Structure 1
Amino acid sequence: MSQEAGQEAAVVVTEVDDILVMRLNRPRVKNALNREALRILVDAYTRLSNSRELRCGVVHGEGDVFCAGLDLADVIPASIEEGANTYLKPGQCDPFRLYGPACSKPVISAVHGRCYTAGLELTLAADMCVASRDTQFGQQETTRGIFPLGGATIRLPKAIGWGSAMHCILAGGQFGAEEAHRWGLVQVVTEPGEQLQGALDLAREVAKCAPLAVQAALANARLAQTDGVRAAVDHIRTEGRRIALSADAREGMMSMMERRAAKFAGC
Protein backbone atom coordinates (compact mmCIF):
# COMPACT_ATOMS: atom_id res chain seq x y z
CA MET A 1 0.00 0.00 0.00
CA SER A 2 1.59 3.26 -1.11
CA GLN A 3 0.62 6.48 0.66
CA GLU A 4 -0.54 9.34 -1.53
CA ALA A 5 -1.17 11.99 1.13
CA GLY A 6 0.60 12.90 4.35
CA GLN A 7 -0.48 11.36 7.63
CA GLU A 8 -1.81 14.73 8.76
CA ALA A 9 -4.10 15.08 5.77
CA ALA A 10 -7.81 15.13 6.57
CA VAL A 11 -8.26 12.11 4.28
CA VAL A 12 -5.47 9.66 3.43
CA VAL A 13 -5.82 8.13 -0.04
CA THR A 14 -4.03 4.89 -0.96
CA GLU A 15 -4.19 2.20 -3.63
CA VAL A 16 -4.50 -1.49 -2.80
CA ASP A 17 -4.08 -3.23 -6.14
CA ASP A 18 -7.05 -1.98 -8.21
CA ILE A 19 -8.99 -0.58 -5.22
CA LEU A 20 -8.82 3.06 -4.11
CA VAL A 21 -8.97 3.32 -0.31
CA MET A 22 -9.97 6.62 1.32
CA ARG A 23 -9.38 6.87 5.08
CA LEU A 24 -11.07 9.72 6.96
CA ASN A 25 -8.21 10.93 9.14
CA ARG A 26 -9.48 13.41 11.76
CA PRO A 27 -9.96 11.04 14.72
CA ARG A 28 -9.56 13.78 17.34
CA VAL A 29 -12.79 15.36 16.07
CA LYS A 30 -14.56 12.06 15.27
CA ASN A 31 -13.64 12.38 11.59
CA ALA A 32 -15.92 15.38 11.14
CA LEU A 33 -15.73 16.43 7.50
CA ASN A 34 -14.21 19.86 7.04
CA ARG A 35 -13.64 21.57 3.70
CA GLU A 36 -10.20 19.98 3.34
CA ALA A 37 -11.67 16.51 3.84
CA LEU A 38 -14.45 17.19 1.34
CA ARG A 39 -12.02 18.48 -1.27
CA ILE A 40 -9.73 15.45 -0.90
CA LEU A 41 -12.72 13.13 -1.19
CA VAL A 42 -13.85 14.94 -4.34
CA ASP A 43 -10.37 14.58 -5.86
CA ALA A 44 -10.26 10.89 -4.89
CA TYR A 45 -13.72 10.06 -6.26
CA THR A 46 -12.84 11.89 -9.49
CA ARG A 47 -9.55 10.01 -9.74
CA LEU A 48 -11.35 6.70 -9.20
CA SER A 49 -13.97 7.57 -11.81
CA ASN A 50 -11.42 8.53 -14.47
CA SER A 51 -8.86 5.76 -13.90
CA ARG A 52 -8.59 2.81 -16.29
CA GLU A 53 -6.83 0.70 -13.65
CA LEU A 54 -8.93 1.33 -10.53
CA ARG A 55 -12.07 -0.81 -10.28
CA CYS A 56 -13.69 0.04 -6.94
CA GLY A 57 -13.41 2.44 -4.00
CA VAL A 58 -13.57 1.93 -0.24
CA VAL A 59 -14.07 4.73 2.28
CA HIS A 60 -13.47 4.14 6.01
CA GLY A 61 -12.57 6.03 9.16
CA GLU A 62 -9.58 6.25 11.51
CA GLY A 63 -10.15 5.98 15.26
CA ASP A 64 -13.24 4.90 17.16
CA VAL A 65 -15.90 6.24 14.78
CA PHE A 66 -16.47 6.31 11.03
CA CYS A 67 -17.72 9.89 10.84
CA ALA A 68 -19.72 12.01 13.26
CA GLY A 69 -20.84 14.44 10.53
CA LEU A 70 -19.76 17.80 9.15
CA ASP A 71 -17.36 20.16 10.86
CA LEU A 72 -20.14 22.74 11.08
CA ALA A 73 -17.95 25.67 12.12
CA ASP A 74 -15.73 25.18 9.08
CA VAL A 75 -18.26 24.14 6.44
CA ILE A 76 -21.55 25.95 7.11
CA PRO A 77 -20.37 29.60 6.90
CA ALA A 78 -18.55 28.86 3.63
CA SER A 79 -21.45 26.88 2.19
CA ILE A 80 -23.88 29.72 2.92
CA GLU A 81 -21.73 31.96 0.72
CA GLU A 82 -20.59 29.46 -1.92
CA GLY A 83 -22.87 26.42 -1.73
CA ALA A 84 -21.29 23.23 -3.05
CA ASN A 85 -18.59 25.34 -4.73
CA THR A 86 -16.87 25.47 -1.37
CA TYR A 87 -15.60 21.93 -2.02
CA LEU A 88 -16.61 20.99 -5.57
CA LYS A 89 -15.34 22.31 -8.90
CA PRO A 90 -17.30 21.92 -12.17
CA GLY A 91 -16.89 18.45 -13.65
CA GLN A 92 -15.59 16.85 -10.46
CA CYS A 93 -17.37 13.86 -8.93
CA ASP A 94 -19.52 14.62 -5.90
CA PRO A 95 -19.21 11.95 -3.17
CA PHE A 96 -22.82 12.75 -2.21
CA ARG A 97 -24.07 12.39 -5.83
CA LEU A 98 -26.10 15.59 -5.58
CA TYR A 99 -24.26 18.66 -6.84
CA GLY A 100 -21.96 17.12 -9.45
CA PRO A 101 -21.42 13.95 -11.49
CA ALA A 102 -21.40 10.61 -9.69
CA CYS A 103 -18.27 8.46 -9.63
CA SER A 104 -18.60 5.90 -12.43
CA LYS A 105 -17.08 3.13 -10.28
CA PRO A 106 -18.71 1.43 -7.28
CA VAL A 107 -17.86 2.78 -3.82
CA ILE A 108 -18.18 0.73 -0.63
CA SER A 109 -18.34 2.35 2.82
CA ALA A 110 -16.79 0.53 5.79
CA VAL A 111 -18.36 1.99 8.92
CA HIS A 112 -18.03 1.58 12.67
CA GLY A 113 -18.84 3.46 15.85
CA ARG A 114 -20.83 6.54 14.96
CA CYS A 115 -22.04 7.03 11.40
CA TYR A 116 -23.91 10.31 11.76
CA THR A 117 -25.28 13.06 9.51
CA ALA A 118 -22.76 13.62 6.67
CA GLY A 119 -21.21 10.24 7.48
CA LEU A 120 -24.56 8.53 6.98
CA GLU A 121 -25.18 10.58 3.83
CA LEU A 122 -21.78 9.54 2.47
CA THR A 123 -22.84 5.94 3.14
CA LEU A 124 -26.26 6.43 1.52
CA ALA A 125 -24.52 7.79 -1.58
CA ALA A 126 -22.16 4.80 -1.68
CA ASP A 127 -23.21 1.64 -3.49
CA MET A 128 -22.70 -0.89 -0.68
CA CYS A 129 -21.93 -0.78 3.02
CA VAL A 130 -20.03 -3.05 5.41
CA ALA A 131 -20.71 -2.20 9.06
CA SER A 132 -19.21 -3.27 12.35
CA ARG A 133 -21.75 -4.55 14.87
CA ASP A 134 -21.06 -1.52 17.07
CA THR A 135 -22.17 0.99 14.42
CA GLN A 136 -24.86 3.50 15.30
CA PHE A 137 -26.48 5.43 12.46
CA GLY A 138 -28.14 8.80 12.97
CA GLN A 139 -29.22 12.00 11.25
CA GLN A 140 -28.88 14.80 13.80
CA GLU A 141 -29.24 18.03 11.83
CA THR A 142 -32.67 19.11 13.08
CA THR A 143 -31.37 18.90 16.66
CA ARG A 144 -28.81 21.55 15.64
CA GLY A 145 -31.11 23.95 13.84
CA ILE A 146 -30.46 22.87 10.25
CA PHE A 147 -31.69 20.05 8.02
CA PRO A 148 -29.79 17.40 6.01
CA LEU A 149 -27.86 18.85 3.07
CA GLY A 150 -26.22 15.69 1.69
CA GLY A 151 -29.16 13.65 0.45
CA ALA A 152 -30.60 11.93 3.54
CA THR A 153 -34.07 13.34 2.91
CA ILE A 154 -33.95 11.84 -0.59
CA ARG A 155 -32.29 8.46 0.03
CA LEU A 156 -32.98 7.44 3.62
CA PRO A 157 -36.76 6.93 3.15
CA LYS A 158 -36.02 4.61 0.21
CA ALA A 159 -33.35 2.77 2.18
CA ILE A 160 -35.15 2.14 5.49
CA GLY A 161 -38.80 3.13 4.97
CA TRP A 162 -40.67 6.38 5.48
CA GLY A 163 -41.50 6.16 9.19
CA SER A 164 -38.06 4.94 10.25
CA ALA A 165 -36.42 7.64 8.14
CA MET A 166 -38.64 10.38 9.58
CA HIS A 167 -37.89 9.19 13.11
CA CYS A 168 -34.22 9.55 12.28
CA ILE A 169 -34.40 12.82 10.32
CA LEU A 170 -37.09 14.71 12.24
CA ALA A 171 -36.49 13.48 15.80
CA GLY A 172 -32.80 12.54 15.78
CA GLY A 173 -33.58 8.83 16.20
CA GLN A 174 -30.78 6.30 15.82
CA PHE A 175 -30.55 2.71 14.63
CA GLY A 176 -27.92 0.01 14.75
CA ALA A 177 -26.05 -2.20 12.29
CA GLU A 178 -28.41 -5.17 12.63
CA GLU A 179 -31.46 -3.01 11.87
CA ALA A 180 -29.61 -1.43 8.94
CA HIS A 181 -28.78 -4.91 7.65
CA ARG A 182 -32.42 -6.03 7.85
CA TRP A 183 -33.51 -2.92 5.98
CA GLY A 184 -30.88 -3.40 3.24
CA LEU A 185 -28.79 -0.32 3.99
CA VAL A 186 -25.93 -2.58 5.14
CA GLN A 187 -24.87 -5.61 3.11
CA VAL A 188 -22.34 -7.19 5.50
CA VAL A 189 -22.10 -6.98 9.31
CA THR A 190 -18.71 -7.75 10.83
CA GLU A 191 -17.17 -7.94 14.27
CA PRO A 192 -15.65 -4.66 15.51
CA GLY A 193 -12.38 -3.90 13.77
CA GLU A 194 -13.08 -6.18 10.81
CA GLN A 195 -15.20 -3.79 8.73
CA LEU A 196 -12.34 -2.54 6.52
CA GLN A 197 -11.23 -6.07 5.66
CA GLY A 198 -14.84 -6.98 4.93
CA ALA A 199 -15.15 -4.01 2.58
CA LEU A 200 -11.87 -4.85 0.83
CA ASP A 201 -13.02 -8.45 0.35
CA LEU A 202 -16.27 -7.19 -1.19
CA ALA A 203 -14.38 -4.69 -3.37
CA ARG A 204 -12.17 -7.51 -4.67
CA GLU A 205 -15.27 -9.44 -5.70
CA VAL A 206 -16.43 -6.40 -7.67
CA ALA A 207 -12.95 -5.95 -9.18
CA LYS A 208 -13.01 -9.52 -10.55
CA CYS A 209 -16.00 -8.68 -12.73
CA ALA A 210 -15.89 -7.01 -16.15
CA PRO A 211 -15.26 -3.27 -15.55
CA LEU A 212 -17.34 -1.96 -18.46
CA ALA A 213 -20.26 -4.19 -17.50
CA VAL A 214 -20.01 -3.14 -13.84
CA GLN A 215 -20.01 0.54 -14.77
CA ALA A 216 -22.90 0.15 -17.22
CA ALA A 217 -24.98 -1.81 -14.70
CA LEU A 218 -24.26 0.74 -11.98
CA ALA A 219 -25.16 3.65 -14.24
CA ASN A 220 -28.38 1.94 -15.30
CA ALA A 221 -29.48 1.19 -11.74
CA ARG A 222 -28.78 4.78 -10.69
CA LEU A 223 -30.64 6.12 -13.73
CA ALA A 224 -33.70 4.06 -12.82
CA GLN A 225 -33.65 5.64 -9.35
CA THR A 226 -33.22 9.23 -10.49
CA ASP A 227 -34.93 9.39 -13.91
CA GLY A 228 -37.30 6.42 -13.84
CA VAL A 229 -37.81 3.12 -15.63
CA ARG A 230 -38.25 4.55 -19.14
CA ALA A 231 -34.90 6.33 -19.02
CA ALA A 232 -33.25 3.16 -17.75
CA VAL A 233 -34.82 1.10 -20.58
CA ASP A 234 -33.52 3.58 -23.17
CA HIS A 235 -30.07 3.30 -21.59
CA ILE A 236 -30.24 -0.51 -21.78
CA ARG A 237 -30.99 -0.31 -25.51
CA THR A 238 -27.83 1.65 -26.25
CA GLU A 239 -25.42 0.41 -23.59
CA GLY A 240 -26.52 -3.22 -23.82
CA ARG A 241 -25.34 -3.44 -27.42
CA ARG A 242 -22.07 -1.62 -26.71
CA ILE A 243 -21.19 -3.91 -23.80
CA ALA A 244 -22.23 -7.06 -25.70
CA LEU A 245 -19.78 -6.13 -28.48
CA SER A 246 -16.86 -5.51 -26.09
CA ALA A 247 -13.74 -7.64 -25.82
CA ASP A 248 -14.67 -8.33 -22.21
CA ALA A 249 -17.99 -9.84 -23.29
CA ARG A 250 -16.13 -12.15 -25.67
CA GLU A 251 -13.70 -13.04 -22.90
CA GLY A 252 -16.58 -13.78 -20.55
CA MET A 253 -18.13 -16.16 -23.08
CA MET A 254 -14.82 -17.88 -23.86
CA SER A 255 -13.94 -18.32 -20.19
CA MET A 256 -17.33 -19.92 -19.58
CA MET A 257 -16.90 -22.30 -22.51
CA GLU A 258 -13.34 -23.14 -21.49
CA ARG A 259 -14.25 -23.45 -17.80
CA ARG A 260 -11.60 -21.03 -16.56
CA ALA A 261 -11.49 -17.75 -14.71
CA ALA A 262 -12.10 -14.74 -16.93
CA LYS A 263 -9.38 -12.13 -17.41
CA PHE A 264 -11.14 -8.85 -18.09
CA ALA A 265 -9.20 -5.94 -19.55
CA GLY A 266 -11.86 -3.23 -19.44
CA CYS A 267 -12.30 -2.94 -23.21
Structure 2
Amino acid sequence: MTRGQALAAATERLAGLSATPRLDAELLMAHALGVTREALLLGGLAAPAPEDFGALVERRLAHEPIAYITGTRGFWTIELAVGPGALVPRPDSETLIEAAAAHFAGGPGPTRILDLGTGSGALLLAALDEWPGASGIGIDASPAARSWAARNAEALGMAARAEICDGGWTGTGERFDLILCNPPYIGTGETLPRDVAAWEPASALFAGADGLDDYRAIAPVLAPQLAPGGVACIEIGCTQAMTAGALFEAEGFDVVVRRDLGGRDRCLVVTHKRKSADFT
Protein backbone atom coordinates (compact mmCIF):
# COMPACT_ATOMS: atom_id res chain seq x y z
CA MET A 1 0.00 0.00 0.00
CA THR A 2 1.31 3.44 -0.86
CA ARG A 3 1.47 6.25 1.66
CA GLY A 4 -1.40 7.99 -0.08
CA GLN A 5 -3.58 4.88 0.01
CA ALA A 6 -2.73 4.23 3.66
CA LEU A 7 -3.56 7.82 4.57
CA ALA A 8 -6.90 7.62 2.78
CA ALA A 9 -7.80 4.37 4.53
CA ALA A 10 -6.73 5.69 7.94
CA THR A 11 -8.67 8.93 7.42
CA GLU A 12 -11.83 6.95 6.75
CA ARG A 13 -11.34 4.81 9.86
CA LEU A 14 -10.57 7.80 12.09
CA ALA A 15 -13.51 9.89 10.88
CA GLY A 16 -15.80 8.48 13.56
CA LEU A 17 -13.68 9.58 16.51
CA SER A 18 -11.68 12.64 15.43
CA ALA A 19 -12.71 16.07 14.19
CA THR A 20 -9.49 16.13 12.16
CA PRO A 21 -9.06 12.57 10.83
CA ARG A 22 -6.84 13.46 7.87
CA LEU A 23 -4.54 15.57 10.01
CA ASP A 24 -4.33 12.78 12.60
CA ALA A 25 -3.42 10.29 9.89
CA GLU A 26 -0.74 12.57 8.44
CA LEU A 27 0.82 13.21 11.85
CA LEU A 28 0.94 9.48 12.56
CA MET A 29 2.44 8.74 9.15
CA ALA A 30 5.07 11.43 9.62
CA HIS A 31 5.90 10.02 13.05
CA ALA A 32 6.26 6.51 11.61
CA LEU A 33 8.65 7.86 9.00
CA GLY A 34 10.59 10.03 11.44
CA VAL A 35 9.94 13.20 9.44
CA THR A 36 7.82 16.31 9.80
CA ARG A 37 4.32 16.43 8.38
CA GLU A 38 5.48 19.04 5.89
CA ALA A 39 8.30 16.78 4.70
CA LEU A 40 5.83 13.91 4.32
CA LEU A 41 3.54 15.92 2.08
CA LEU A 42 6.35 17.47 0.06
CA GLY A 43 8.09 14.13 -0.36
CA GLY A 44 5.21 12.59 -2.26
CA LEU A 45 2.71 9.91 -1.31
CA ALA A 46 3.46 7.25 -3.91
CA ALA A 47 6.19 5.56 -1.84
CA PRO A 48 5.32 2.51 0.27
CA ALA A 49 3.70 3.17 3.63
CA PRO A 50 5.86 2.34 6.69
CA GLU A 51 5.13 -1.01 8.28
CA ASP A 52 4.32 0.34 11.74
CA PHE A 53 1.80 2.92 10.54
CA GLY A 54 -1.10 0.53 11.06
CA ALA A 55 -0.18 -0.02 14.71
CA LEU A 56 -0.16 3.73 15.32
CA VAL A 57 -3.61 4.04 13.75
CA GLU A 58 -4.89 1.30 16.05
CA ARG A 59 -3.64 3.24 19.06
CA ARG A 60 -5.51 6.31 17.85
CA LEU A 61 -8.63 4.21 17.33
CA ALA A 62 -8.39 3.38 21.03
CA HIS A 63 -8.74 7.16 21.59
CA GLU A 64 -5.13 7.64 22.69
CA PRO A 65 -4.23 11.31 22.14
CA ILE A 66 -2.06 12.03 19.10
CA ALA A 67 0.46 13.81 21.32
CA TYR A 68 0.87 10.71 23.51
CA ILE A 69 1.41 8.53 20.43
CA THR A 70 3.97 10.81 18.80
CA GLY A 71 5.44 11.91 22.14
CA THR A 72 5.58 15.57 21.20
CA ARG A 73 3.43 18.68 21.05
CA GLY A 74 4.29 22.15 19.78
CA PHE A 75 3.39 25.03 22.10
CA TRP A 76 4.06 28.72 21.49
CA THR A 77 7.65 28.77 20.15
CA ILE A 78 8.82 25.48 21.65
CA GLU A 79 8.43 21.74 21.10
CA LEU A 80 7.61 19.65 24.16
CA ALA A 81 7.88 15.99 25.04
CA VAL A 82 4.54 14.79 26.40
CA GLY A 83 3.04 11.55 27.59
CA PRO A 84 0.85 9.91 30.23
CA GLY A 85 0.91 11.72 33.55
CA ALA A 86 0.83 15.25 32.16
CA LEU A 87 -1.91 17.24 30.48
CA VAL A 88 -1.46 17.69 26.73
CA PRO A 89 -0.73 21.40 26.09
CA ARG A 90 -3.54 23.11 24.17
CA PRO A 91 -3.31 26.09 21.81
CA ASP A 92 -5.91 27.87 23.98
CA SER A 93 -3.35 28.01 26.79
CA GLU A 94 -1.10 30.17 24.61
CA THR A 95 -3.56 32.96 25.48
CA LEU A 96 -1.79 33.22 28.85
CA ILE A 97 1.56 33.93 27.19
CA GLU A 98 -0.11 36.47 24.90
CA ALA A 99 -1.64 38.20 27.92
CA ALA A 100 1.71 38.30 29.70
CA ALA A 101 3.44 39.71 26.62
CA ALA A 102 0.81 42.44 26.41
CA HIS A 103 1.27 43.32 30.09
CA PHE A 104 5.05 43.69 29.75
CA ALA A 105 5.01 45.26 26.26
CA GLY A 106 7.42 48.17 25.98
CA GLY A 107 9.19 47.26 29.21
CA PRO A 108 12.04 44.99 30.24
CA GLY A 109 9.81 41.99 30.83
CA PRO A 110 9.65 39.74 33.87
CA THR A 111 12.77 38.67 35.74
CA ARG A 112 11.23 35.90 37.84
CA ILE A 113 8.43 33.64 36.63
CA LEU A 114 6.30 31.13 38.54
CA ASP A 115 4.19 28.42 36.93
CA LEU A 116 1.71 26.93 39.39
CA GLY A 117 0.72 23.41 38.34
CA THR A 118 3.38 23.29 35.67
CA GLY A 119 2.49 19.90 34.17
CA SER A 120 4.73 19.36 31.14
CA GLY A 121 6.35 22.74 31.80
CA ALA A 122 4.62 24.27 28.77
CA LEU A 123 3.77 27.68 30.21
CA LEU A 124 6.99 28.17 32.16
CA LEU A 125 9.28 27.12 29.33
CA ALA A 126 7.35 29.10 26.72
CA ALA A 127 7.69 32.19 28.93
CA LEU A 128 11.41 31.59 29.45
CA ASP A 129 11.81 31.30 25.68
CA GLU A 130 9.91 34.58 25.29
CA TRP A 131 12.08 36.35 27.88
CA PRO A 132 15.62 34.91 27.66
CA GLY A 133 16.83 37.00 30.59
CA ALA A 134 14.32 35.53 33.01
CA SER A 135 14.45 32.51 35.27
CA GLY A 136 11.61 30.69 36.95
CA ILE A 137 10.11 27.89 38.95
CA GLY A 138 7.54 25.31 37.92
CA ILE A 139 5.58 23.72 40.77
CA ASP A 140 3.48 20.57 40.56
CA ALA A 141 2.22 18.03 43.06
CA SER A 142 2.48 15.19 40.53
CA PRO A 143 5.82 13.35 40.28
CA ALA A 144 4.95 12.22 36.74
CA ALA A 145 4.26 15.78 35.62
CA ARG A 146 7.46 17.06 37.24
CA SER A 147 9.41 14.40 35.38
CA TRP A 148 8.05 15.62 32.03
CA ALA A 149 8.73 19.26 32.95
CA ALA A 150 12.33 18.54 33.98
CA ARG A 151 12.90 16.52 30.81
CA ASN A 152 11.60 19.39 28.69
CA ALA A 153 13.68 21.99 30.49
CA GLU A 154 16.78 19.90 29.85
CA ALA A 155 15.95 19.27 26.19
CA LEU A 156 15.34 22.97 25.56
CA GLY A 157 18.60 24.00 27.23
CA MET A 158 16.74 25.76 30.04
CA ALA A 159 17.61 23.52 32.99
CA ALA A 160 19.78 26.24 34.54
CA ARG A 161 16.92 28.76 34.33
CA ALA A 162 13.95 26.53 35.16
CA GLU A 163 13.69 24.87 38.57
CA ILE A 164 11.01 22.17 38.83
CA CYS A 165 9.67 21.64 42.36
CA ASP A 166 7.09 19.69 44.32
CA GLY A 167 4.38 21.86 45.80
CA GLY A 168 0.94 23.40 45.59
CA TRP A 169 -0.83 26.70 45.09
CA THR A 170 0.98 28.47 47.95
CA GLY A 171 4.19 28.64 45.92
CA THR A 172 7.66 29.09 47.35
CA GLY A 173 7.45 32.12 49.63
CA GLU A 174 9.11 34.24 46.93
CA ARG A 175 7.43 36.98 44.89
CA PHE A 176 7.33 36.80 41.12
CA ASP A 177 6.86 39.31 38.33
CA LEU A 178 4.82 36.83 36.31
CA ILE A 179 2.65 34.00 37.61
CA LEU A 180 1.17 31.53 35.15
CA CYS A 181 -1.41 28.95 36.09
CA ASN A 182 -3.61 26.49 34.22
CA PRO A 183 -5.43 24.80 37.12
CA PRO A 184 -8.03 22.06 36.89
CA TYR A 185 -11.39 23.66 36.05
CA ILE A 186 -13.73 20.90 34.84
CA GLY A 187 -16.79 20.11 36.96
CA THR A 188 -16.88 16.53 38.17
CA GLY A 189 -20.22 15.94 36.47
CA GLU A 190 -19.13 17.24 33.08
CA THR A 191 -18.62 14.87 30.18
CA LEU A 192 -15.27 14.97 28.42
CA PRO A 193 -14.17 13.41 25.13
CA ARG A 194 -12.85 9.89 25.60
CA ASP A 195 -9.43 11.04 24.32
CA VAL A 196 -9.22 13.25 27.41
CA ALA A 197 -11.17 11.36 30.08
CA ALA A 198 -9.56 7.96 29.48
CA TRP A 199 -5.98 9.13 29.04
CA GLU A 200 -5.12 12.46 30.66
CA PRO A 201 -4.69 12.74 34.45
CA ALA A 202 -7.94 13.44 36.28
CA SER A 203 -6.02 15.47 38.88
CA ALA A 204 -5.19 18.02 36.17
CA LEU A 205 -8.78 18.20 34.90
CA PHE A 206 -11.43 18.11 37.61
CA ALA A 207 -12.04 20.72 40.30
CA GLY A 208 -15.19 19.94 42.22
CA ALA A 209 -18.84 20.01 41.26
CA ASP A 210 -18.69 23.47 39.65
CA GLY A 211 -15.07 23.37 38.48
CA LEU A 212 -14.11 26.26 40.78
CA ASP A 213 -12.49 24.49 43.73
CA ASP A 214 -8.92 25.26 42.70
CA TYR A 215 -9.69 28.93 42.03
CA ARG A 216 -11.12 29.09 45.54
CA ALA A 217 -7.80 27.74 46.82
CA ILE A 218 -5.59 29.96 44.64
CA ALA A 219 -7.26 33.35 45.09
CA PRO A 220 -6.60 33.75 48.84
CA VAL A 221 -2.90 32.82 48.58
CA LEU A 222 -1.98 34.70 45.41
CA ALA A 223 -1.24 38.19 46.74
CA PRO A 224 1.95 37.34 48.69
CA GLN A 225 3.35 35.63 45.59
CA LEU A 226 2.79 38.47 43.11
CA ALA A 227 5.32 41.30 43.01
CA PRO A 228 4.17 44.93 42.70
CA GLY A 229 3.67 45.71 39.03
CA GLY A 230 3.50 42.02 38.22
CA VAL A 231 0.71 40.00 36.63
CA ALA A 232 -0.88 36.62 37.13
CA CYS A 233 -2.33 35.01 34.00
CA ILE A 234 -4.75 32.26 34.97
CA GLU A 235 -6.58 29.99 32.57
CA ILE A 236 -10.33 29.50 32.92
CA GLY A 237 -13.06 27.51 31.24
CA CYS A 238 -14.94 29.54 28.66
CA THR A 239 -18.00 29.97 30.92
CA GLN A 240 -16.12 30.83 34.13
CA ALA A 241 -15.05 34.45 33.59
CA MET A 242 -17.57 35.94 36.02
CA THR A 243 -17.55 33.23 38.66
CA ALA A 244 -13.78 32.65 38.77
CA GLY A 245 -13.02 36.34 38.29
CA ALA A 246 -15.21 37.26 41.27
CA LEU A 247 -13.08 35.09 43.55
CA PHE A 248 -9.97 37.14 42.72
CA GLU A 249 -11.81 40.44 42.86
CA ALA A 250 -12.98 39.50 46.36
CA GLU A 251 -9.30 39.25 47.35
CA GLY A 252 -8.69 42.84 46.23
CA PHE A 253 -7.28 42.23 42.74
CA ASP A 254 -8.06 43.95 39.49
CA VAL A 255 -9.22 41.37 36.95
CA VAL A 256 -9.46 41.62 33.17
CA VAL A 257 -10.63 38.77 30.94
CA ARG A 258 -8.72 37.92 27.78
CA ARG A 259 -10.20 35.80 24.99
CA ASP A 260 -8.53 33.06 22.97
CA LEU A 261 -8.31 32.98 19.17
CA GLY A 262 -11.74 31.36 19.03
CA GLY A 263 -13.27 34.37 20.79
CA ARG A 264 -13.91 32.46 24.03
CA ASP A 265 -13.11 33.76 27.50
CA ARG A 266 -9.87 31.99 28.39
CA CYS A 267 -7.58 33.95 30.72
CA LEU A 268 -7.95 36.04 33.87
CA VAL A 269 -5.36 38.83 33.87
CA VAL A 270 -4.93 39.48 37.58
CA THR A 271 -3.00 42.45 39.01
CA HIS A 272 -2.71 44.31 42.29
CA LYS A 273 -5.04 47.30 42.44
CA ARG A 274 -3.22 50.36 41.14
CA LYS A 275 -4.22 52.49 44.13
CA SER A 276 -2.30 50.18 46.47
CA ALA A 277 1.23 51.49 46.83
CA ASP A 278 2.43 49.16 49.54
CA PHE A 279 2.07 45.40 49.15
CA THR A 280 4.32 44.42 52.02
Per the TM superposition, whether the score is higher than 0.5 is no
Task: Sort the TM-score into its range (normalised by shorter chain).
Answer: under 0.3
Q: Tell me the TM-score normalized by structure 2.
A: 0.26
| Greater per-residue helix proportion | 1
Q: Tell me the TM-score normalized by structure 1.
A: 0.27
